[in-house]
Every structure is written in structure tokens, then in C-alpha cells.
A and B are shown apart, each in its own frame.
Chain A
Amino acid sequence: MAAKPMTGQAFFVLTALADGPRHGYGIVGEVADLSQGRVKLKIGSLYGVLERLAAERLIEPDRDEAHDGRLRRYYRLTQDGRRALAEEAELRAATARVVRARLRLTGTQAAG
């Protein structure tokens, strides 16, 4: 059975967790940086993605830390999450290679 395609938001969230655990707002900031400001996750959207990734066992909680009287929950990638992210990155890289090759063929490379 073919795996479900990963959404762009899920891809960015998993990438944000690739180098270590992060809490909710930390993920929002990292996703904004990774996408060069193109993806600005609202909290409702972020937790929709986190809930789905947790249900698919691609992420799990790492620890809770107190900060200004509030508990911040940190999330980390699971082994399955790491594998899924690597596969998705490979797929996207392969697609990008095809796109570049076709653009070269038609002589429509991006300027700069």
C-alpha cells in the first residue's frame, strides 16, 4: 500500500525537529526560519499537525520544562519520523532534480 503523501507543513515541522527536540513555539519559529518566512504556522494549525504526527508515531514528547510559570512540552522525532523525513527529503530532492533538468531542456532557468 502506498504511503500517504506528506504535507508541506508536516515536512517543515519534522525538519524543525531533525536537529533536536523543540517546544511548540520553538517549532513555529524554526519553521518560519527554514521556509524563509513563507510558512508562518498559527498555533491551531501547528497542533493539528503535531496531533497527526503523534498519531502516526512520527514524533513523541521529549520532556516538560517550566518557563515563566508555564509548562513547555518538547517534542522529538521518533525513529519512524526520522525515516519518513529522510524518505520525503529524498523524494523532494529527486523531484527538484527532474524539474531542473526539464527547465534546462526548455531553456527556462531562473535568472540569478
Chain B
Amino acid sequence: MSSDLERRYRRVLRLLPGWYRQQWEQDMVAAFLDSWLTGDPEVDEAIIEFCKPGWAEVASVAGLAVRLHLGGPGTPRRYAWGHATRRAVLVVVLMHAVLAVDVLVFLVRSRRLIGWLPPSPASLVIAPGGVWVRMFYLVCIAWIAIFVTLALGHYRTARVLAALAIVPGLVALLQAQRTGFLPAPFGPWAFWVLIDLAPVLAMTTFRRDAPPAAPRRWLLALPAGYLVVYGPLLALQATGNSAWLPDFSGLCCILVSLACLAHAPRAWSRQTAATGLWSLTLALLAAVAGAYRIASLTGYLNDPHLITVSLAELLIVLAAVALVAPDAARAQTATPAPPPYSRAMAA
């Protein structure tokens, strides 16, 4: 039976998040009572009845509660954001790798390196030669290498390659800006900041102790991603419906929306930690796609039709992410994988 002092202390402990109390409350209460009780029944009876946790004790619990609620190291919020950020980075790098595969396939087709592949449309073939063209192909190969190294867990190599891979893009942008070849600069700069720089910076979350990704699944995602993205696009081109082809920011919005729609039934029916982490990942990706869509709108200021289409894409991504948002919010407070001491006690 709990004593008055214990009840008062448990009331203070309600400041702590539920997942934390589940793990530590009993132990904290035992240690707290140990710190008060003397072993003398008469004295202890008086202590139990009249004493209450001091201000310093309450302050220490409040401080711990603030740290845990804000998402300090080892908390579910920090764990969820770290996990979701790493997944979002993998998805963005996968997108880079898919684009790179497309460029290389295009190169193979235009040079007729594989006889049975149909040649690229002559109007789209990049003229061979030149430092920038060679650099462009090199960067494409680098993104495939970055994706593979990241998926295989060679984080440091991936970080170094990625930091090098975004430099030519920056130099090209600065050069274009300086020489006036950038009539609508927001779109290209948004691409560089959101799709190139941000994932490279976020790669710092891939620490040695980060839970590894499932390499086989991610590596299979590269050919699958190529087919999912370029299958429909090539079909639109082949059937003479090129007008339906979205621009890259629109494509990002459509892909994220489709992923949200595909994930929503699982997020609503299961609501596990795993679905929550994917929901949070999709919310992050939707934020990036939405920001990129808004920034690239400036390129269409003279075309009301394209502005309407772009706004529709934005609305679609907002509606799609709203479907998984509750699950994403829940993921931040869901109980994480049990810490090592739970397994030790169970053994």
C-alpha cells in the first residue's frame, strides 16, 4: 500500500513523460523513500504522514522532465527524428541516384553503346566534350556511389563523396548567376539548398552508433525507383503526352503524395512505432517537396496555367501528408526500442 509521502512524490513524477515513468518510476520512488526513511518506525510514520518532497527534489524532477520532453539524447523524440532524418536523407540520395541512372542510360542510348536500346531523341542529346559535361557525368556516378555507400553503412565515405558532389552544382550556379544565365534563380538555388546541401548536412546524423539501414532493400530500391519514376514518364513521352510531364519539383510533390497515400492505410490501421517513423519520414519529405515547389513557382510568374498546376500539386501534397501527420506526431512520443537494461533483466 502506498504511503502519503510516496503519493506526493508520485504526483511530482507525473511531470515526466509516460514512457519514462514506465521504465523508471518504481525505482525512483524506492530511492526517494530510502533517502527519507530512517528505519525507526515512529519517526518514519511521522515522515510519511507530514513530509513532502523538497523544492530541490521537485526542481531536479522538473529539469529531467524538461530535457525528456524537449527530446534530449536517448529520448523517443530524438530517436524518432534521428531515424526519420536518416531515412529522408536516404530517400533524397536515392532520388539523386535514380536521376543519375537516367542520365547514364540516356548517355548509353545517345552513344549507341548498347545496340538493342533505342537511341535518344536527337534534340535532347548533350554535345560531347567540355569540362562541365564530363563533370556532370562524374557527379552522376558519384551520386550512385554515395547512395550505395550510404545504404551499405560506409557513412564517412558517403559524407566525403557527397560534400564533393555538391560543389560543381554550386560553382555552376554562381557562374550562371554572375553571367546572367539564371533568369529565375529561386528554383535552381532551392534545388541546390534543399536537394543537394540539406541532405549532405543531415548526413551528420549517420553516426557510427546509428541503427543500420536494411542494405538489400535500399539497394533494390534503386532499380525499382528508376522503373517507378521513369516508366510512367517514358510512357507519357512515347504516347505523345509530353505536356503532362511535371517539372522536377512537381514530380517530387507527386511522388511524396503517392508514398503518403500508399502508407496511410498502414499508418491508420497499425499505428506501430515502425509506421510512425515512416510517417515522420514522409512528413519531412513532404516539407522539402513543398518548400521546393513554392520556391520554383517564381519561374512561372508569367504563366497562370503553370502556376495553377503548381498550386494544385502543393495542395495535393498537403492533403496527402495530412493523412499520415497524426501517426507522425504519435511517433515522437511512442515508446522506443527497449533499452539494454530491459533485456538484461529479462535474461
Contact = CB atoms under 8 A, between A and B. Distances in A.
Interface of A: 1, 23-25, 28, 42-48, 50-52, 54-57, 59-61, 64, 67-68, 70-73
Given A70-B30, A71-B30, 6 more contacts: A42-B59, A43-B60, A44-B60, A46-B31, A54-B340, A55-B73
Given A44-B60, A60-B340, A73-B30, A28 B35 contact: yes
Contacts of A25: 30-31, 34-35
B67 A48 contact: yes
B229 interface: no
B64 A24 contact: no
Considering the complex of A and B, which 5 residue pairs feature the smallest CB-CB distances, nearest first?
A24-B31, A44-B60, A42-B60, A25-B34, A55-B74
B339 to A, nearest CB: 5
Contacts of B24: 47, 50-51
Interface of B: 20, 23-24, 26-35, 37, 56-57, 59-64, 67, 73-74, 207-208, 339-341, 344-345
Contacts of A72: 27, 30-31, 34
B35 A45 contact: no
B31 A28 contact: yes
A43 B60 CA distance: 7
B60 A45 contact: yes
* Residue of B26, B31, B34, B340 contacting most chain A CB atoms (<10 Å): B31
B63 A48 contact: yes
A23 B63 contact: no
B33 A70 contact: yes
A96 B177 CA distance: 56
Contacts of A46: 31
B344 A70 contact: no
A57 B342 CA distance: 12
A47 B307 CA distance: 55
A8 B57 CA distance: 19
B341 A60 contact: yes
Contact of B57 (A44, A67, A73): A44
Contacts of A68: 37
A25 to B, nearest CB: 4
A50 B26 CA distance: 14
Nearest to A63: B345
Contacts of B207: 1
A55 B209 CA distance: 11
28 contacts: A24-B27, A25-B34, A25-B35, A28-B31, A43-B28, A43-B35, A43-B57, A43-B60, A44-B57, A44-B60, A45-B60, A47-B31, A48-B64, A50-B24, A51-B20, A52-B73, A54-B340, A54-B341, A55-B74, A56-B74, A59-B341, A60-B340, A60-B341, A61-B345, A64-B345, A67-B30, A67-B34, A73-B27
A24 B34 contact: yes
A96 B223 CA distance: 58
Contacts of B344: 60-61
Contacts of A54: 339-341
A46 B26 CA distance: 14
Nearest to A55: B74
